[in-house]
Structure 1
Amino acid sequence: MLELTTSLQHDMAWPFTILLAWIIGEFANRWLRLPRISAYAIVGFLLAPSQLGLLPSSQSPTMLLMANIAFGLILFESGYRINLRWLRSNPWFAAASVTEAVLTFVCVYFLVLAFAQTETTALLLASLSMATSPATILRVINEQKSSGQVTERVLHLSVLNCVLAVLTFKVILGLVIFKTSGNVWSAGYNSLIVLLVSTALGVTLGVLIPAVLRKTKRLNQDGTLAFTIAVVFIVALTHSLKLSPVLAALTFGLVVRHRRIILNSSQRGFGALGDLLSVLLFVFIASTIEWKQVVAGIGLGLSIILIRQIAKTVGIGIFSRVSGISWRKGVLVGMASLPISTFVILVLEQTRYVGIDLVDQLAPLAAAAFTLEIIGPLFIQRALIWAQEVPENKEV
């Protein structure tokens, strides 16, 4: 009987947690007007193995793959919504992106050194702090049905930040591996080769799938299934080859857009499948955070949140007027750039999957991730409402 109970608890842990997270998310959104993903994160954190212990103590490679697929679908949609022509016509916006990323890197780097951490830790924390999570931003945007300058700019910035953060992190990781092991191949594979091959895979599928849709005369019909299968394939392949699902999925979406494939309404968010995987993603992210790590890194973690937010707001704000928006909207874009946890934790989990465990070394990120997993969606929601880009809050 005991064995049956244990087996049932193990088998039903994730399905029960996802169901509970969805129910609490719906009530939190209806009664408290909270973003659903904040509720998902709270449930995932509380039921994590290091807290209440309902979820399994060992992270399953299958769950990591499912989380990466969920993230990949969101990254594909984020990449699809990036307009490169707009970036070329408004170079000041691109300059704002690079400036705030570099400013964030420098400020976090010197902050971490001031806390008597090693230079390696400072470099890795600084590179990851450059990122803004497109997953959190896109889910809140879709949930709020927002549209406007702040919405589009924060979404574009989150994608650009992800690319810059992945590039910087992989290069630094390669240097760290070479410094500690002296293995040139291992260092190169975990940096430049990963970046190049992942991007090449995204470009290849971005050309291939639209060509298949044109050839089968399904270009003007619902292509949700085709793109869903393609995203699952490219994420599974990059996961198996220990490449970068982030770059591959983003590149895939970007190329599809510029192959002039128009996504209809059914493809935005990938329907019920996308909603289901989003619940799983945000529960999984929060479940990887251990309370002990949060406590151990709370001082530096909160300091990183503060200095990162100041750096991003200043970096974006100083280019507001020349890039075509008001100072106020520039500050709101900076405010909405707060989320980071989904991107950071999946990158670290993927890094651990390839055999490099940085989670304990970067404990301050656990504190930052826990805090931002809860309050990040709230900041985006308020920024979009204050910018009057949420339908029920727009002036008539």
Structure 2
Amino acid sequence: MLELTQLQHDMAWPLSILLAWFIGEFANRWLKLPRISAYAVVGFLLAPSQLGLLPSSQSPTMLLMANIAFGLILFESGYRINLRWLRSNPWLTAASLTEAVLTFVCVYFLVLAFGQTETAALLLAALSMATSPATILRVINEQKSSGQVTERVLHLSVLNCVLAVLTFKVILGLVIFKTSGNIWNASYNGLIVLLISAALGVTFGVLIPAVLRKANRLNQDGTLAFTIAIIFIVALTHSLKLSPVLATLTFGLVVRHRRIILNSSQRGFGALGDLLTVMLFVFIAATIEWQQVLAGISLGLAIIFVRQLSKTIGISIFSRVSGISWRKGALVGMASLPISTFVILVLEQTRYIGVDLVDQLAPLAAAAFTLEIIGPLFVQRALIWAQEVPEKKEA
């Protein structure tokens, strides 16, 4: 019996990843659903608080692996950001700032109206600003979409991610200072973390391309070098309790503007990227407990509605002046629904540094569970309705 229990413990994650991959392929092939929605369903069902196949406690190693998977996707998201486009069309940045601020204000007052504390309202509002680049990019790659809606939703998701991290870290620093009165801890977990994380991304963004150019191995070893660098950055930021989100995004952004070209075989980091993606979305869903979902269901659903309305309005009002139709602006807003991957990993990272906010922010569990499944569907339909998906994908 002891050996059987040990075998179950050892095989829990490999078996879960295998099941998620199998069901994801079936769902995509026969039901035309995004694979990551299926991964999320499997992860949630196998979670310790549901069927209980996965371990009851999330190990630091699994959190590190999830952050590495997220880091690979964030690097590619940052790499695809065109700063020249943002400079030539400042209305995109204006749309991002407007919808982020509108989302923050609306969610903040909504949470207060539900009788939550001001701290909870501020933290929920900050996290609600984000749109998860991980979900957006995986659906874009899966659908092989291209066009105005595709590029705008990807750019806006990265901008939102950065704004949410900045806002969340500042508020977290204020919460720590209010609780402990230690100004160093508050500063370190606020602006100092952001500055060091961004500097780390910039450093590697300059260093790695320079080494590859010097060795004349840019075309042959680009993917391997960037993968190793991302793993190192995530491990270092994880160990030093910095922000792997900001570091990897900055790394990708700097590499793009160092004129490094990733060919099609390098996008998504191949089989390693696909494997870690399955693990990532299973891990994210497995952290969500059914009790938390029930406890915060009413406020969680209200946050989803208010957040989506705020984002759609904030983006749509800049549609015409930024060069697209009202309809496409609304589709960009519709595709901005996903949030779960970003939120769960930020909260897990926050718990790792010693600040447990998961239980205090139960409404996020309900929102994360709902959006982990339907978010990719919204992105998929928005891209298809925008006619940016090859015809064979609509069949």
TM over 0.5: yes
Which residue number in structure 2 is paired with residue 96 of structure 1? 95
- What residue number does 2:164 align with? 165
Match of 2:283 in 1: 284
How many Å apart are 1:392 and its aligned residue? Answer: 1.2
Contact 2:40 2:282 in 1 (8 A): yes
CA contact (8 A) 2:143 2:393 kept: no
The 8 Å contact of residues 228 and 270 in structure 1, kept in 2 or not, is answered as: yes
Contact 1:222 1:264 in 2 (8 A): no
Question: Match for residue 313 of structure 2?
Answer: 314
In structure 2, how many angstroms separate the alpha carbons of the residues matched to 1:221 and 1:329?
Answer: 39
The aligned residue for residue 51 of structure 1 is 50
Matched to 2:114, the amino acid is F
Q: Is the contact between residue 222 and residue 266 of structure 1 (CA under 8 Å) also seen in structure 2?
A: no
- Cα distance per residue 1:81-120 (max 9 Å; x no partner): 0000100000011100000000000000000000000000
Deviation at 1:394, TM superposition (A): 9.2
Q: Which amino acid aligns with 2:165?
A: V
Q: Residue deviations 1:332-379, cap 9 Å, x none?
A: 000000000000000000000000000000000000000000000000
**Percent identity of equivalent pairs:** 88
Equivalent position SS for 2:319: coil
CA 1:329–1:63 in structure 2 vs 1: closer, same or farther (change >3 Å)?
Answer: same
2: CA distance, partners of 1:240 / 1:3: 34
User: Equivalent residue for 1:112?
Assistant: 111
Q: Which residue of 2 aligns with 1:125?
A: 124
Runs (4+) off by over 3 Å: none
Q: TM-score, normalised by structure 1?
A: 0.99
Cα distance in 2, alignment partners of residues 371 and 13 from structure 1: 24
- Which whole-Å CA distance do the structure 1 matches of 2:44 and 2:21 have between them? 14
Alignment of 1:214-363 (within 5 A): 214-363=213-362
Give me the TM-score of the superposition, normalised by structure 2: 0.99
SS in 2 for 1:58: coil
The alignment partner of 1:197 has SS state of helix
Distance of 1:186 and 1:88 partners within structure 2: 36
Superposed displacement of residue 220, structure 1: 3.3
**AA matched with 2:332:** V
- RMSD of aligned C-alpha atoms? 0.9
Which residue does the alignment assign to 1:208?
Answer: 207
Give CA deviations for 1:129-149 in whole Å, capped at 9, x if unaligned.
000000000000000000000
Please say if residues 150 and 384 of structure 1, whose CA atoms lie closer than 8 Å, have aligned partners that are also in contact: yes
The whole-number CA distance in structure 2 between the counterparts of 1:44 and 1:219 is 37
Tell me if the contact between 1:385 and 1:393 (Cα under 8 Å) persists in the aligned partners.
no
Distance 1:344 1:194 in 2: 18
Distance of 2:136 and 2:2 partners within structure 1: 43
- Equivalent position amino acid for 2:386 in 1: A
User: Structure 2: which 5+ runs fail to align?
Assistant: none
Question: What's the offset of the Cα at 1:222?
Answer: 4.3
Distance, in Å, in 2 between the alignment partners of 1:350 and 1:394 is 36
CA shift for structure 1 position 219: 2.3
Counterpart of 1:279, as a letter, is V
Take 1:160 and 1:393, find their aligned partners in 2: how far apart are those partners? 31
